[in-house]
């Protein structure tokens, strides 16, 4: 099984998985919006035991997590949100959903410095509630009455991600300590990238060239044509 980032070409396949597994369905453009706005946060599980035979064959996607960052958090705290998660029936209880969730949570912290992750789940969805609460450690914040279109209530759950922030900070410290004893490799100097090394060394005088518009601000102001100048 390969857990990898969602690609735009996977979108019809995850839409299919979503239609198979959940009553909450979305237009293609909603998946695309996630993939384009937060390309680091959504993952797919691909069954690689039977790889595609030709370049025209689709990868076998057996699970996905569609995630985003909350754009205007009401509490002002930067956090992620799980929009949708599902695993095909044939591949359940193999730890795929757990892996997808953990991967997305890590990316939320690494890429966006998320403080917590939130989600909604149907109060009757025992399997998902087990996964979120018992396996991943989510807490139920509140119950939202009639959240779903069919009138069912939702649990609003959230997971504090400070343990991940701490783990990342410790790993960074460790790396810094390691570099401190072995010397930091800063790579090639960036200023000369792409330049001919011989020309870079030559002592030819530098020539000033004009770039951009040669116009002053005055010329950029829209003129009132009706007035005689
Ligand atoms: N009953 C009880 N607990 C379960 C079940 C189940 N049927 N399935 C998973 N769990 C819990 C267990 O605690 C399990 O740990 P364990 O196997 O060590 O006991 C843990 O979740 C991890 O299980 P995974 O194997 O990672 O879960 P799986 O890959 O089977 O996917 C999922 C779980 C996503 C809920 C799957 O059953 C599914 O796709 N259901 C339909 C779609 C769905 O309900 N999605 C979530 C909606 S909420 C939202 O999208 C934000």
Q: Residue 44, class by beta-carbon neighbours within 10 Å (0-12 exposed, 13-18 middle, 19+ buried)?
A: buried
pLDDT at residue 42 is higher than 60:
yes
Cα distance from N-terminal residue to C-terminal residue, the chain: 73
Domain 2-169 top-level CATH class: alpha beta
Residue 116 main-chain phi, psi, to 5 deg: -155, 170
Ligand 1: residue of 30, 127, 134 to mutate (most ligand atoms within 8 A of CB) is: 127
Name the residue at shortest CA distance from atom 11 of ligand 1.
131
In the prediction, which pLDDT does 229 show?
42
Per domain, the residue ranges of the chain are 2-169, 199-228
pLDDT at residue 95 is higher than 60:
yes
Residue 224 main-chain phi, psi, to 5 deg: -85, 105
Which two three-digit tokens encode residue 166? 């701490």
Name the residue at shortest CA distance from atom 4 of ligand 1.
127
Where residue 51 falls among pLDDT bands split at 50, 70, 90?
confident
Which two three-digit tokens encode residue 47? 């069954």
Is residue 136 within 6 Å of ligand 1 at its C-beta?
no
Is residue 109 within 6 Å of ligand 1 at its C-beta?
no
Which two three-digit tokens encode residue 216? 């002053």
Name the residue at shortest CA distance from atom 17 of ligand 1.
93
pLDDT digits (tens, 9 = 90+) for 53-81: 888 888 899 999 999 999 999 999 999 99
Residues in contact with 195: Cβ distance below 8 Å, sequence separation at least 6, in sequence order: none
Nearest to 138 by CA among 148, 128, 147: 128
3-class secondary-structure state, position 62: strand
The number of CA neighbours under 13 Å toward the Cβ of 89 is 4
* Start-end of H helices in the chain: 11-21, 28-37, 96-112, 126-129, 162-182, 197-201, 217-220
Name the residue at shortest CA distance from atom 2 of ligand 1.
127
């Amino acid at each position: 099984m390969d857990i990898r980032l969602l690609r735009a070409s996977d979108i019809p396949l995850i839409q299919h998985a979503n239609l198979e597994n959940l009553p909450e369905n979305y237009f293609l453009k909603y998946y695309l919006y996630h993939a384009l706005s937060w390309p680091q946060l959504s993952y797919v599980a691909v069954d690689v035991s039977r790889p595609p035979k030709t370049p025209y064959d689709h990868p076998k996607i057996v699970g996905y997590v569609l995630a985003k960052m909350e754009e205007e958090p009401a509490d002002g705290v930067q956090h992620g949100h799980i929009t949708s998660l599902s695993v095909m029936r044939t591949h359940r209880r193999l730890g795929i959903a757990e892996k997808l969730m953990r991967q997305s949570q890590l990316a939320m912290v690494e890429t966006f410095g998320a403080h917590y992750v939130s989600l909604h789940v149907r109060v009757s969805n025992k399997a998902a509630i087990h996964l979120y609460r018992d396996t991943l450690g989510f807490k139920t914040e509140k119950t939202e009455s009639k959240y779903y279109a069919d009138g069912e209530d939702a649990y609003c759950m959230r997971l504090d991600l400070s343990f991940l922030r701490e783990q990342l900070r410790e790993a960074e410290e460790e790396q810094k300590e390691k570099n401190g004893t072995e010397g930091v490799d800063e790579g090639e100097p960036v200023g000369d990238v792409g330049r001919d090394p011989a020309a870079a060394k030559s002592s030819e005088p530098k020539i000033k060239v004009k770039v951009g518009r040669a116009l002053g601000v005055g010329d950029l102001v829209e003129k009132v044509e009706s007035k005689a100048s």
